[in-house]
Amino acid sequence: MISSTESRASSPLIETHTIDPIPLTQRHGAPASQFTLWFGANLQITAVVDGALAIVFGAEALTAIIGLLIGNLLGGIVMALHAAQGPNTGLPQMITSRAQFGVRGAALPLLLVIIMYLGFAATGTVLSGQAINRLFGFTAPQTGMIVFGVLTAVIAIVGYRLIHVVGRIASVVAIIGFGYLAWQLFAQYDVAAAFGQKPFTLPTLLLAVALAAGWQMTFAPYVADYSRYLPADTPRAAVFWPTLLGSVTGAQLAMTFGVLVAACGGHFLSDQVGFLGGLAAPGLAAVIYVAIVTGKLTVNCLNAYGGFMSALTVVSAFRRGQAISGLARAAYILGFILLSLLIALYASADFLKFFKNFVLLLLAVFVPWSAINLVDYYLVSHERVDIPALYDVNGRYGSWNGVAIGCYLSGIVVQVPFLSQALYTGPLATWLGGADISWIVSLGLTSLVYYRLATRQQPVCRGRQ
């Protein structure tokens, strides 16, 4: 592990680093910033929808809340283990996949990650655009989405430091906004009557677990992007716990609220922004719209920031030279945001619904990637990474790693019979009453198979920093 006694200079306001390791002299910040960032990124309207889906899928309210808590904890542990890699390597999350898949082989999971970023960015832009339109009285639907896209671009281009500031602001606004909404919900609805409406069933519990675990694991491909500037001697636990607690607490609060909203009835799922604004007392709806926008702005900046670095990681693997100018960095970010904005602006409502379901199905591709990355980093490499080799197709990690790629593809295929998604339900999931345990099966089998094969693999693709 890297340790440093060098003095650490403050980084410039506008970030200059991309997929290169952060120098020891530019490390700064405190692990507590991870809590506010991930709390703010999770206590937002899309997480509320995710919790409400547990009720839509047939779970009883208390069963849904318990299942979501279990899923948030399990998925959050996986996510926070990725975050703990940041200070040690000083690298964004996905480029470390080159240590397992090879410099060019890592493009396979990276391309799927970019699709995920675009999908969530587009659907988030639609919701935020609605809130901005209601907040300022804009009549053209595209106006709010464009304003939101511009805000995202500015923050993502400034980069790491401003993203953390926005996360802190979003945490405070979300606590105020959603705390007020919860009070209004209890004042306007008989929340107690929402419990016990249906009997407990194991499949619906497992579905709630899968919803929350899948939610947490979508953060795994970019969580280390926001811990890599921390001092290199930051203890692993000092990053793990704030990240875990921030992400799990924010998500569980939002999802529990979603469960209660859906169980109490109303038109939330058909008009999420309108329902939350209407839940507020007259004159206070603006506070709710601000809370929606700041929460989505935080996570959309994460999507844009991670999306551009994932795209750059793919492109750099197939071209000579790793240097990138500030102008090119901004162009990558603007290109990503423009593409997600175009999807949000010009796609039909039916297409956006389909695309969102498609993105949820893509979650199946992140579980085996996460298993391979964590097993390799903690159990095979023992937290040692040959950083120069990550940028050299002729280096220690090579261009393609057949063992990792084979395990990854197998980890996807093994999930198919267990999947229970809007687009597809496997035969074993049907036999289990609709319970989706695909991620559990893949996480366990991929971890075991990769560990056995990677420890035997020759040449040994492990190095020290």
pLDDT digits over 183-192, tens only? 999 999 999 9
The pLDDT score that the predictor gives to residue 11 is: 53
Which secondary-structure segment (H or E) carries 273?
Answer: helix 272-279
Q: Which residue has the higher pLDDT, 363 or 463?
A: 363
- Report pTM: 0.89
The pLDDT score that the predictor gives to residue 320 is: 65
pLDDT tens figures, 386-399: 999 999 999 999 99
What band does 462 get if pLDDT is binned at 50, 70 and 90?
A: very low
What band does 145 get if pLDDT is binned at 50, 70 and 90?
A: very high
Cα–Cα dist 119/385, whole Å: 31
The pLDDT score that the predictor gives to residue 344 is: 87
Q: What is the DSSP letter of 416?
A: G
What band does 5 get if pLDDT is binned at 50, 70 and 90?
A: very low
* Location of structure tokens 């990053």: 239
Is 235 a residue whose pLDDT tops 90? yes
Q: What is the rounded average pLDDT of the residues 172-191?
A: 93
Q: Which range, of 137-146, 228-237, 431-440, averages the lowest pLDDT?
A: 431-440
Cα–Cα dist 123/101, whole Å: 30
The pLDDT score that the predictor gives to residue 419 is: 84
Residue ranges per structural domain of the chain: 29-361
The pLDDT score that the predictor gives to residue 461 is: 43
State CA 16 to chain mean position distance: 23
The pLDDT score that the predictor gives to residue 6 is: 40
What band does 243 get if pLDDT is binned at 50, 70 and 90?
A: very high
What band does 175 get if pLDDT is binned at 50, 70 and 90?
A: very high
The pLDDT score that the predictor gives to residue 7 is: 37
Cβ neighbour number for residue 373 with a 10 Å cutoff: 27
The pLDDT score that the predictor gives to residue 44 is: 92
pLDDT tens figures, 329-363: 888 899 999 999 998 888 766 665 666 567 667 77
pLDDT tens figures, 42-99: 999 989 988 998 898 889 999 999 999 999 999 999 999 999 999 999 998 889 999 9
- 390 and 96 in contact (C-beta within 8 Å)? yes
Q: Which residue has the higher pLDDT, 14 or 229?
A: 229
pLDDT tens figures, 27-38: 888 999 999 999
CATH fold, domain 29-361, is Hydantoin permease (1.10.4160)
**% pLDDT > 70, the chain:** 91
- 404 and 373 in contact (C-beta within 8 Å)? no
Q: Which range, of 206-215, 248-257, 370-379, averages the lowest pLDDT?
A: 206-215
Is 317 a residue whose pLDDT tops 50? yes
User: Which of 161, 214, 124, 220 lies closest to 421, judged by CA?
Assistant: 214
The pLDDT score that the predictor gives to residue 356 is: 58
The pLDDT score that the predictor gives to residue 323 is: 64
Is 457 a residue whose pLDDT tops 80? no
The pLDDT score that the predictor gives to residue 360 is: 66
Is 104 a residue whose pLDDT tops 60? yes
Q: Which residue has the higher pLDDT, 458 or 290?
A: 290
Is 234 a residue whose pLDDT tops 90? yes
User: Which of 397, 314, 407, 425 lies closest to 368, judged by CA?
Assistant: 407
User: Which of 85, 84, 45, 44 lies closest to 390, judged by CA?
Assistant: 85
- Tabulate helix, strand, coil % of the chain (nearest 5): 70, 0, 30
Is 249 a residue whose pLDDT tops 80? yes
Average pLDDT value for the chain = 87
The pLDDT score that the predictor gives to residue 346 is: 82
Q: What is the rounded average pLDDT of the residues 430-457?
A: 89
Cβ neighbour number for residue 119 with a 10 Å cutoff: 21
Query: 454 is written with which tokens?
Result: 């990677």
Which secondary-structure segment (H or E) carries 134?
Answer: helix 107-136
Backbone angles phi, psi at 435, to 5 degrees: -70, 135
* Location of structure tokens 């970010």: 333
Is 209 a residue whose pLDDT tops 60? yes
Is 225 a residue whose pLDDT tops 70? yes
Is 464 a residue whose pLDDT tops 70? no
